[in-house]
Amino acid sequence: MPIAHGVSNYFRFSSPCPAHIQLGDMSENPRRTIGSAFTDPDDIRARFSRALSRMYRAEVPQYGALIALVSEINAAVLADRDDLRRAMHDAGELARLAEERHGAIRLGTAAELAMIGRAFAVMGMTPVGYYDLAPAGVPVHSTAFRPVETASLQHNSFRVFTSLLRLELIEDPALRQEAAETLARRDIFIPEAKRLIQLAETRGGLTDEEADAFVAAVLETFRWHSEATVSASTYRHLVQAHRLVADVVSFRGPHINHLTPRTLDIDLAQAAMPRFGMSPKETIEGPPARRCPILLRQTSFKALQEPVAFVSDDDRTEGVHTARFGEIEERGAALTPAGRSLYDALLAADRDGNDRFGEFPDDWTTLRREALAWFRYRIAPNPAPSILDATTDLETLIAEGQVEALPIIYEDFLPVSAAGIFRSNLGSEAGDAFAARSDRDAFEEALGRPVLDEMALYEAEQTRSIEAVRLALTKAPGVREDA
């Protein structure tokens, strides 16, 4: 029987599951180091994430309320769960929880995607996964730029869900041409940003001073611009085609669409949003509440109406634009391909009005033995007093208390949930499914490189953890040694 797997973050568990999963130790995977003359990409990413959060808080004051809400919920959960607090403290996870964010941007051209990929690379972020949202009525395909090494995720797990507009899905040929010409005229990166990206690529890094300049320069790409680059008439036509098309095409830059803090209890957060002056979406996207959280659950407050000036050669019209919103997420354990297949099948049944999610196992032992979730293995902190033998079956070692298996935090996204969030904030114009095939090849060609397979990342970490356990047992039979 296959042994389940692990990567990046993970939880100590017992069966049945606790109300909230606890994080395990990651100390055996120290952060990588680079030449002392250059700033670690992990530090550049952390600086950028904090600067972006400050800017977005200034642009969207409700984001500050969102952070306050999440902080209050997390503090209450940790106060109620001393075991969770201790485990997160021991693993250095409390700092990550406070810092953790994901953002989202929507780009218009292949050149924009290629350059943003180069900028994210300076921050140690790699494109992971391909997401086609067209079947859910959103004319984009996407990837998630994020760190992939365990220690880098531990240091700062900032991610950006990055979407590229599929112009070919605009039905009106004249409007499609006008949108393409409008996008071709803009440059979303200031010259200093492009200079520093090139410098980092040429030299292999940035000094501390250059890193600060890089953060300030790239931040301009994510800034909101209240003056549109199209006329009011063109904007209306773009909205009629799709509100997201209007959002991508009508402005000088992609502007950060939302920033998402991580909560330890999204149901509490959803219930508390009105108290903080926010109108939540009607339902939480993702799996239902479970004793053993899996994948990703998300909710948001509804998009803001923001004043915009639409400018043409002979006219300036004041109006509003609706796109930016606030989002909260709760992350659970990553699922294996078999687990995802079962989840997707139950999700499809649920859409047909059949509530069958109860069929998904809700205890860690079953999830592990049936290889439905990824786990990471290590020598138990306090192994039972018996001889550790590298030839013993892992299942036996776990049963005897010699080895423990730790579920892994899901670091990626769910296309159906992402589309659900988009649609809830785009309004009724979001539209039905587009009759278009996924085009991963075109996306990767625009990006300039393949996207990584998230499942391969989880599996590689799982394999490394088992090998580390075996090596520890081989080196010191009968002696407790951390994997």
Dist. CA 374–CA 9, nearest whole Å: 11
On whether residue 378 sits in a domain, the answer given is: no
Dist. CA 7–CA 247, nearest whole Å: 36
pLDDT of residue 313: 65
DSSP string, 264-321: S-HHHHHHHGGGGT--B-SS-BSSPP-SS-BSEEEEEEPPPEEEEEEEETTEEEEEEE
Beta bridge partners of residue 126, listed in sequence order: 146
Total number of domains constituting the chain: 1
Give CA 244 to chain center in angstroms.
Answer: 20
Considering Cα of 254, then 255, then 257, then 260, what sign does the dihedral take? positive
Beta bridge partners of residue 141, listed in sequence order: 132, 164
On whether residue 464 sits in a domain, the answer given is: no
DSSP string, 49-63: HHHHHHHHHHH-HHH
On whether residue 136 sits in a domain, the answer given is: yes
Contact between 12 and 404 (Cβ < 8 Å):
yes
Specify the amino acid at residue 267.
D
CB atoms within 10 A of CB 143: 26
On whether residue 162 sits in a domain, the answer given is: yes
User: Mean pLDDT of successive 10-residue segments in the chain (483 residues)?
Assistant: 32 36 32 67 96 92 89 92 73 72 94 98 97 88 95 90 94 93 96 98 96 98 94 92 92 92 92 87 88 92 84 81 86 95 88 80 95 92 66 86 88 81 58 73 96 97 92 65 41
For residue 176, give the CATH number of its domain: 3.10.180.80
Dist. CA 136–CA 129, nearest whole Å: 17
Dist. CA 343–CA 347, nearest whole Å: 6
On whether residue 54 sits in a domain, the answer given is: yes
Predicted TM-score (pTM) of the model is: 0.86
193-198, long-range: CB within 8 Å, 24+ apart, which pairs?
Answer: 193/119, 193/217, 193/218, 193/220, 193/221, 194/115, 196/122, 197/115, 197/118, 197/119, 197/122
pLDDT of residue 261: 92
On whether residue 403 sits in a domain, the answer given is: no
Best CA proximity match to 274, nearest among 64, 69, 421, 56: 69
Residues 6 or more apart in contact with residue 326 via CB below 8 angstroms: 60, 62, 63, 66, 258, 259, 278, 300, 301
On whether residue 363 sits in a domain, the answer given is: no
pLDDT of residue 404: 86
- Rounded CA Rg of the chain: 23
Q: What is the residue range of 145's domain?
A: 46-332+413-453
On whether residue 289 sits in a domain, the answer given is: yes
